[in-house]
Chain A
Amino acid sequence: ILNVEQSPQSLHVQEGDSTNFTCSFPSSNFYALHWYRWETAKSPEALFVMTLNGDEKKKGRISATLNTKEGYSYLYIKGSQPEDSATYLCALGNYGGSQGNLIFGKGTKLSVKP
């Protein structure tokens, strides 16, 4: 069974704090890693798609890195704001030759207190 692990499960920070989460996955047969942000009652929002070892991507205060050789990705949020409160999901894409379905972790739930 393929496991995509995310840690921590939940995180509570104060406004202005910087934070980071981890996504771990099997390093073999890697194709792509996706990060999503999912706010309550909204659609999951695509943040990044990463494919190459050493990839770094940035979107505003959010950035992500990828290490395919050791099987992990980090998501960083600089200067957290209350509107960053959401569940952050990572997912493997096309793992092992599958036809495009995503294999998700359980997510990290972030709460940012004003």
Chain B
Amino acid sequence: DTGVSQNPRHKITKRGQNVTFRCDPISEHNRLYWYRQTLGQGPEFLTYFQNEAQLEKSRLLSDRFSAERPKGSFSTLEIQRTEQGDSAMYLCASSLVAGQETQYFGPGTRLLVL
């Protein structure tokens, strides 16, 4: 499978715990994006990388969120001290370049914070 993969697919955690998600983009894609979708909403942009550089962060990305993309390959998104409001689907996408290039999405990680 040469598509975007995400792990885990589901995560249940208790409030206050830290969680980390992983995204493996399509191998030749230099751009990687993180989005979050909450119930009844469309996906909302969180952050993106071009190679290993994090170039933009949304105001939705609070101090408890951190994303990395070491060596410009896979990316991780960590949420510290999770809150119930963090419960959402976290989507990763990758693309070749900016502009109108299609972003290819992974299946997402569904997080439930109890």
Contact = CB atoms under 8 A, between A and B. Distances in A.
Interface of A: 4, 6, 31-32, 34, 36, 41-46, 49, 51, 89, 91, 93-94, 98-107
A101 B107 contact: no
Contact of A43 (B3, B35, B40, B99): B3
Interface residues of B, number: 28
Given A99-B48, A104-B42, A107-B42, A94 B100 contact: yes
Interface string B91-114: 100010011111111111000000
Given A41-B107, A89-B43, A99-B56, A32 B98 contact: no
B50 to A, nearest CB: 8
Interface in B31-89: 31, 33, 35, 40-45, 48, 55-56, 58
14 contacts: A34-B102, A41-B107, A43-B105, A43-B106, A49-B101, A89-B42, A100-B33, A100-B99, A101-B48, A101-B56, A102-B43, A104-B35, A105-B42, A106-B41
Q: 10 closest pairs, A vs B, by CB?
A: A104-B42, A100-B98, A101-B45, A32-B100, A44-B105, A43-B107, A46-B102, A106-B42, A43-B105, A104-B43
A43 B100 contact: no
Interface of B: 3-4, 31, 33, 35, 40-45, 48, 55-56, 58, 91, 95, 98-108
Contacts of B33: 100-102
B17 to A, nearest CB: 25
Given A101-B33, A101-B48, A46 B43 contact: no
A100 B33 CA distance: 9
A49 B102 contact: yes
Contact of A31 (B45, B56, B100): B100
Given A99-B48, A101-B33, A46 B42 contact: no
